[in-house]
């Protein structure tokens, strides 16, 4: 596959557009306007021209082509004369045009699927089982042949790769830097049984580990293009990056134990979630010490009951051993995940 072409000598523009291309899961062929050959010019699925190189490109006299975008960091740099000289289809100003340009880069990948559905799993209280459910849902989808990614949005969760027994698998992870982990390159996140896993690394930096908001948005946009389902493991208290992930969700699953105090805690979380997610559903985890029915918990929270998770003997021990939850396809957790997958919107439904 011929990658998109970038014609620019601006190192800052190089860095921004390389980051976006990595998030979109595509490569980027970077040359100057003086170096580009007629073949590369004609074969590239998309040509990005930096404002610094527009006049040099026009002087080359290359044949007119479609799918040409003039890119600059300042509106004053992007004059009508430059746009006319390059015959650009689009003129965009960074960084405000990053979301649009990310999607445009992703569409150059012939292997990309339709926009995927993003599902977030949020705990109603600490220890509710959100990470286990997120992993099990992603593992179940991947086992059934759905191209799936699992995104760790909780920097203090210890790393979701541990839940899958993949802590020693090489590959990119969130790690406190300001770059976007590559998604389609050889040094991208690890895959576990066909499931792409972007986890937080374990670091002594602790609370200082944060992902830039724009990096999370870039990664989610790229995953939407390359996977049919993206499962996001979210904390119950959100920093700007996890808030950005919330705003990108198509469905949020709030999980809470069938306990009175847990229901009270979940009420506070659900109240904040309603402001961010249109499709919010409840999963109730047993056992219920007082016999509190899942339906009563759903009524108290005024949420649709998506499912009830019965106790699963041996699950805690299996997780301690690094055995991915629901990997065998047997047990209450796997059954719940299959049921949840059947109720998720398809990409075309989300776009309608």
Domain 5-107: CATH superfamily, name plus number: Response regulator (3.40.50.2300)
Q: Judge if pTM exceeds 0.85.
A: no
| Peptide bond between residue 287 and the one before it cis (omega within 30 degrees of 0) | yes
Residue with tokens 């939407």: 224
* Per-residue pLDDT of the chain in tens (352 residues, 90 and over written 9): 688 999 999 999 999 999 888 888 888 999 999 898 888 888 888 999 999 999 999 999 888 888 899 999 887 777 788 888 888 888 998 888 887 888 788 878 766 544 789 999 999 999 999 999 999 999 999 999 999 999 999 888 888 999 999 998 888 887 644 455 666 545 678 898 899 999 987 766 554 456 667 678 778 877 887 889 999 999 998 888 888 888 889 999 999 999 999 999 999 999 999 988 989 999 999 999 999 999 999 999 999 999 999 999 999 999 999 899 999 999 999 999 999 999 998 644 444 4
Q: In the chain, what are the domain boundaries?
A: 5-107, 117-349
Task: Give yes or no on whether 5-107 and 117-349 have one common fold.
Answer: yes
Question: Cβ of 222: how many Cβ atoms within 10 Å?
Answer: 30
Domain 117-349: CATH superfamily, name plus number: P-loop containing nucleotide triphosphate hydrolases (3.40.50.300)
DSSP 120-144: EEEESSTTSSHHHHHHHHHHHHHHT
């Amino acid at each position: 596959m011929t990658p998109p072409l970038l014609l620019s000598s601006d190192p800052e523009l190089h860095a921004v557009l390389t980051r976006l291309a990595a998030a979109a899961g595509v490569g980027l062929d970077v040359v100057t306007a003086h170096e580009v050959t007629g073949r590369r010019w004609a074969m590239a699925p998309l040509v990005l021209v930096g404002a610094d190189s527009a006049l040099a490109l026009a002087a080359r006299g290359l044949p007119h082509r479609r799918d040409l975008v003039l890119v600059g960091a300042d509106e004053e740099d992007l004059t009508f004369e430059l746009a006319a000289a390059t015959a650009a289809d689009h003129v965009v100003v960074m960084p405000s045009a990053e979301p649009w340009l990310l999607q445009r880069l992703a569409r150059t990948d012939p292997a990309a699927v339709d926009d995927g559905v993003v599902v977030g799993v949020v705990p109603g209280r600490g220890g509710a089982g959100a990470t286990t459910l997120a992993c099990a849902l992603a593992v179940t989808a991947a086992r059934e042949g759905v191209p799936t990614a699992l995104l760790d949005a909780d920097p203090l969760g210890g790393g979701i790769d541990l839940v899958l027994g993949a802590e020693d698998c090489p590959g990119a992870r969130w790690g406190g830097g300001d770059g976007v982990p590559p998604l389609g390159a050889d040094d991208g996140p690890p895959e576990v049984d066909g499931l792409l896993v972007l986890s937080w690394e374990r670091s002594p930096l602790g609370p200082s580990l944060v992902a830039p908001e724009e990096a999370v948005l870039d990664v989610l946009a790229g995953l939407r293009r390359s996977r049919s389902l993206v499962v996001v493991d979210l904390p119950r208290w959100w920093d700007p990056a996890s808030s950005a992930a919330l705003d990108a969700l198509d469905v949020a699953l709030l999980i809470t134990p069938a306990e009175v105090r847990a229901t009270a805690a979940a009420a506070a979380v659900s109240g904040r979630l309603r402001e961010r997610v249109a499709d919010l559903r409840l999963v109730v985890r047993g056992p219920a010490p007082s016999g509190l029915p899942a339906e009563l918990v759903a009524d108290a929270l005024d949420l649709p009951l998506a499912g009830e998770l019965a106790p699963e003997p041996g699950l805690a021990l299996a997780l301690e051993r690094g055995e991915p939850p629901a990997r065998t396809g047997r047990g209450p957790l796997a059954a719940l995940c299959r049921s949840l997958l059947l109720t998720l919107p398809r990409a075309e439904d989300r776009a309608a």
